[in-house]
Structure 1
C-alpha cells in the first residue's frame, strides 16, 4: 500500500482506514482480501483490521470546517502514533510550544488571521499537546532556540517549558549547537510519526499550502536515516538541558 506524497488528505493508513470505515469492511472480508493479494504480513494485516473496525470519533472532528484539513490530519496522526520524532531548525515543534509561542507563530501567518481564527488554532494546538501520550524524540537546532518568536519574556517562558518537558519520561530532547560539526548533512525540519507497524509510518513536512504527508517506503527509509544522522551530531539529553538553561539565563 505504498503511495506518492499526500497533500492535506491524511496519511496512507488514515486514507485506507477511512475508506474501510466508510464502506463497512468487516474483519473477515479484509483478511480474505489480504489472502487474495498474497499478503502474509500478519502484523500489517492486524493493524489494518484494527483501523477498519475502529469507529471512534476523534476529538479533532469538532474542528472540521473551522480549520484547514491539514490540522485535522496532524491530530489524527497523533491519535494513531506509536512514537514521534521531530527535527526542528527554525521553530520549536508544535507539540512543545507554549500558548504564547504558538500565538506568535500564528501571528506571523500571511494573510493575517482574525482573532477568532487565531484562538481556534491555538486551542487546537494545546489540545493536541494534552492528548499526546506516545514516546517523543526531539532534536532542536540552536537556531530554533535563539530566534525570538514573540518577545524576550515569551521566549524565556518557552525555554523554561522545554526544560520541564525534557524531564518527562516519554520525552527525549536533544540540542544541536551552532558549532557542532555534521549537521548540514541532514538539516531539514521534519516530523516522523510511527504507525502500529513500520509500513504505516508517515512523515509530515511543512509546506506553503499545509502539511505535506509522505508515506512511500523509499522516502520513509531516507527520513529514518536522516533522523539518525541528526541524532548522532546532537548533544545527549543532560548536556542539552544544560545548554537550554544557559540560553535561558542569557535572556
Structure 2
C-alpha cells in the first residue's frame, strides 16, 4: 500500500505518540523495523500517519516500547482500530481538511473546553448566525450552504459529552453579526443550550480589563486519557492541532484562569431575584434588552 498524501489528524497523532514512546524507550527506527520485519521507511511512514499499523503489530510495538496496560494503551489501540469514517465524510470537498479533522476529534472527545474572544463558538451558533459569519469568507451560494450545514451538524455531539465548557468574551455578544434579530436569536440560543446537562457557558466581561489571554481563541479537546488531549487553534488560512503535553497544560491553566475571572455560569433555572449583578445571565439579558 502506497503511503497516503494527506493523513488525518487522528492518523498523525497516533504516529506521533508511537514515535514519542519509541524514542522514550531508547529504541531506534531500525530496531523498531526489525520488530515488524519491515524496513526503516515503513516505521517512518507509520510515525507520520502516512501508513496504518495493524492492531496486532501495534500491540507488539506498544509492549516493546514499554507502554503499560491502561488508558493510554487502550486509547492508542482504539485509535488504530478506528476507521476514521463518520458523518463528516459527506462534506469532503466542500469543507477544509482542518474542519473535517476537528469534527472527528469532537465526535470522539470526552470533554470540550472552548474560549472565543470574537464570535460565539461554532458548536453553539444558530444556523442564521453561522450563515452570517461564514458569508464573510464564502461568496458561493452552494458552498455557503454546505459550510453552514457542516457547522450546525457539529452540534450533535453536545449531548454525549461528559463536559462542555465555554468562556465567551463579552465582545462576541456585542459584535453585530447579521441583523439585530439574528443576534437576539443567537443570544437566546446560549440560554437554551445552557439548559443541557454537563454544559457550562460563562461570559468574560469587559470590566475585567485587558487580561491578555482573552484575545486568543482556542479549543481543548479531551481524549480517552490526558496524554491524548488536543489543543486546537485556528488561524485565517490554517489551524494548529497540538498534542504537546506542556502546551496543553499551559492552555488548560489559562482556561481555568479565564473561567475564574468570568461571570458565574448561565443558569436559566435561577430566579431573576436570586441572580447577582455580576452574573453571565444578567449580562446576557442586558445585551438582549439593548437589541430590542
Same fold (TM over 0.5): yes
1:191 corresponding residue in structure 2: 219
What secondary structure does 2:186 align onto? helix
TM-score (ref. length: structure 2): 0.76
3-state SS of paired residue (1:44): helix
Q: 1:167-211 CA deviation, whole Å, 9 max, x = no partner?
A: 111210011111125733554111111111111111111112232
Match of 2:184 in 1: 156
Residues 67 and 56 of structure 1: is their aligned pair in 2 closer, same or farther, counting only changes over 3 Å?
Answer: closer
Shift of 1:40: 2.3
**Higher RCO (CA 8 Å, separation ≥ 6 residues):** 1
**Post-superposition offset of 1:41:** 5.8
**Aligned residue in 2 for 1:81:** 109
- The answer to whether the 8 A contact 1:140-1:174 is kept is yes
Mark the CA change 1:113 to 1:14 in structure 2 (over 3 Å): closer, same or farther: farther
Quickly say closer, same or farther: Cα 1:71–1:128, change in 2 above 3 A. same
Distance 1:22 1:122 in 2: 33
The answer for the alignment partner of 2:203 in structure 1 is 175
The answer to whether the aligner puts 1:131 opposite 2:157 as a matched pair is yes
**What CA distance in whole angstroms lies between the structure 1 residues aligned with 2:227 and 2:256?**
18
Distance 1:224 1:88, change over 3 A: same
1:51 aligns with 2:91: no
Kindly indicate whether the alpha-carbon contact (under 8 Å) linking 1:99 and 1:122 is maintained by their aligned counterparts in 2: yes
Alpha carbons of structure 1 residues 207 and 33: separation in structure 2 relative to 1, 3 Å: same
2:169–2:214: 8 Å Cα contact kept in structure 1?
Answer: no
Question: Which residue of structure 1 lines up, in the alignment, with residue 24 of structure 2?
Answer: none
Unmatched tracts of structure 1, length 5 or more: 1-7
The 5 Å alignment of 1:91-110 reads 91-109=119-137
In terms of mean alpha carbon deviation, does 57-66 or 96-105 score higher?
Answer: 57-66
Match of 1:23 among 40, 47, 52: 52
With normalisation by structure 1, the TM-score equals 0.88
Distance 1:15 1:37 in 2: 18
In structure 2, relative to structure 1, the CA distance for the partners of 1:63 and 1:204 (3 Å cut) is same
1:127 aligns to what SS in structure 2? helix
Structure 1 match to 2:36: none
Larger radius of gyration: 2
- The root-mean-square deviation of aligned C-alpha atoms, in Å, is 2.2
Contact 1:205-1:212 within 8 A present in 2 as well: yes
Any stretches of 5+ residues in structure 2 without a counterpart? 1-5, 16-45, 268-278
User: Contact (CA 8 Å) 1:203, 1:214: kept in 2 or not?
Assistant: yes
1:62 aligns with 2:90: yes
SS at match of 1:23: coil
